[in-house]
Structure 1
């Protein structure tokens, strides 16, 4: 089906994200830092903030498990901006090409509510699409089917005419299961080629 709507993920598609960057000075030993981010402030722990849990609740939960790491746990939120140090300019250029060509573009992201607004302040292009579904706002996360359906309903999309771009294979499969078209982001040049092959108005 012809693509009428393009939906971008944000982290690792439009902006870089790496929690290690917030802890280079606090935990300079690479092995200790990796263990902290695997066991204390893990991806799964942080995902609950993307699902809408407050940072106060998150910190209390982690400190209860690791009372000796309280300062480091609180540093996750305090130093969050260090985790998103730059945009993927070539992907942003693609986003803007689509918008300039009149393509309907929205965004769908797993992101905590407050850090997303902080990210919009750092990266104004995150305000340029028709709108954004933020998981922390609605307490749903990818790849759950409900968040894709919510996005369709919110923005009046037709699933079969909607193309989703995400770096996560699981999230791409989640979109396909919801009836969307989807491609996995690996690099801006590959995204450009994929969009061009699908007939979207981007330069070769």
Structure 2
């Protein structure tokens, strides 16, 4: 029986996407995609999610790619412009799960501690969680097993009674290795269809 729901945040409940900002800074979409794929890479950003300071990460990347300095500095200098709206259909699922009173609901997110406050101010539903574990605070991130275990231990959650929802399949595989039931998120509609397979009825 599922007693606990664990949500990822970005791309599940919150539309965070660097393109919201960089479409304003690039006139050529191919150049923008090259920059996001090869300069401000996911691996680089995840180092900040895992606790490296934004300043340290920025200076390291500027030194490596000085020809892109202005656009690199914009990544965190104008980070708030990367935040789009909430994904309202998924938030509505969250609301119904919360209102049912049947589940403890937590968030497990790869997010810089320095930027998470911006999201907390913008999205009221972040206050609905029974707890949020932020990678930047813990100095580790998904898919590291210990990061999941922090949540399980801190909130006395049994892996086999929990259901984890994340858009990144890498993170889903890591959760399953720990015995956590998991749904690979692709859309709110598909999530709603899959929940009953785990006995979770809205």
Which band: TM-score by shorter chain? over 0.9
| TM-score scaled by length of structure 2 | 0.96
Q: Aligned ranges for residues 185-200 of structure 1 at < 5 Å?
A: 185-200=185-200
Shift of 1:33: 0.9
Alignment partner of 1:34 is 2:33: yes
- Give 1:197 deviation, angstroms: 3.1
Structure 2 partner of 1:75: 74
Matches of 1:61 and 1:51, distance apart in 2: 15
- Larger displacement relative to structure 2 (192-201 or 173-182): 192-201
Residue 116 of structure 1 is matched in structure 2 by: 116
Is residue 95 of structure 1 aligned with residue 79 of structure 2?
no
Identify the residue that residue 127 of structure 2 maps to in structure 1.
Answer: 127
**Alpha-carbon separation, structure 1, partners of 2:113 and 2:120:** 11
| Cα shift at 1:196 | 2.5
Q: Secondary structure at the match of 2:85?
A: coil
Q: Secondary structure at the match of 1:6?
A: strand
Per-residue deviation, residues 64-121 of structure 1 (Å, max 9, x unmatched): 1112222211100122122221111011011111111111100000011121111111
Q: How many residues align?
A: 201
**Pairs within 5 Å for 1:131-142:** 131-142=131-142
Deviates more, 1:189-198 or 1:57-66: 189-198
* TM score, norm. by length of structure 1: 0.95
Cα distance in 2 for partners of 1:69, 1:167 equals 30
Q: For structure 1, which runs of at least 5 residues remain unmatched after alignment?
A: none
Q: How does 1:1-204 map to 2 (within 5 A)?
A: 2-102=1-101, 103-202=103-202
User: In 2, are the aligned partners of 1:101 and 1:201 still within 8 Å (CA)?
Assistant: no
Higher strand share: 2
Uncovered stretches (5+) of structure 2, i.e. residues with no partner: none
Q: CA deviation at 1:5?
A: 0.5
Deviations 1:146-173 (A, max 9, x none): 1111110111100110100001111111
CA root-mean-square deviation: 1.0
Structure 2 CA distance for aligned equivalents of residues 45 and 78 of structure 1 = 16
